[in-house]
Structure formats: structure tokens, C-alpha cells
Amino acid sequence: MANKSRRRKKLWIWPLDLCKFFSKIICSFGWTSANEPGRLALSNIMQKSIVAFIRTGDPNNSTLGLTWDPWTTAAKSRVVFDATNTAAAISKE
């Protein structure tokens, strides 16, 4: 049997709290015309990150405005996707 070396792959974490996305409380005040520009900008950035991740295994893309580093046990890099009423607010934690 041939000895195959294992190549370590980079890991990005997509923590999703589904309760936040589907809660009746959130939906009742989270979707207004006042915050539509920020919501749409955030949606665009998130979609591009997901598509980049699916295509290449790397969520980084030109719309992020920062570099999303791989998560490791030593460097637990996280990116926060948020929005104001008028714009997306992407930051690192």
C-alpha cells in the first residue's frame, strides 16, 4: 500500500445562528424600507463571499474590503457581517 501524505487544507468557519435569521421577532422589525440600502449591500457582499467559497474554497473577494484569514486553533479569525441602515459594515473580530 502506498504511503499517501495528507495535505492540510485551510478552514473557514461559517457560523450561522438560524434562530436569528428565522425568528418572528427579527423578521417583524428587521426588514424595513429604512434599512433596505444597508440590507442589500450586506446581502451582496455575503452572496459574493459564498460564491467565492464555493468556487475556490476561499471566501475572500473584492467586495469584503478586508482579508478573511483561515480559522486555526492558534488564530481564531472571524469576520462580522453587519449593516447600518445605509451600508454594509464588515469587520474582523
Residues 82, 48: Cα–Cα separation, whole Å: 15
Q: Give me the pLDDT at residue 60, please.
A: 96
Query: Can you give the residue range of the structural domain that contains 82?
Result: 34-92
The total of structural domains in the chain comes to 1
Residue 16, in any domain of the structure: no
Residue 55, in any domain of the structure: yes
**H helical segments located in 1-93:** 18-22, 24-30, 36-56
Half-sphere exposure of 27 (CA within 13 A, CB side): 6
Q: Give me the pLDDT at residue 14, please.
A: 55
**Looking at residues 12-20, what average pLDDT do you find?**
53
Residue 48, in any domain of the structure: yes
pTM for the whole structure: 0.67
Q: Give me the pLDDT at residue 68, please.
A: 93
Residue 53, in any domain of the structure: yes
Q: Give me the pLDDT at residue 76, please.
A: 86
18-61 pLDDT tens trace:
455 555 555 555 677 888 899 999 999 999 999 999 999 999 99
pLDDT averaged over the chain?
Answer: 80
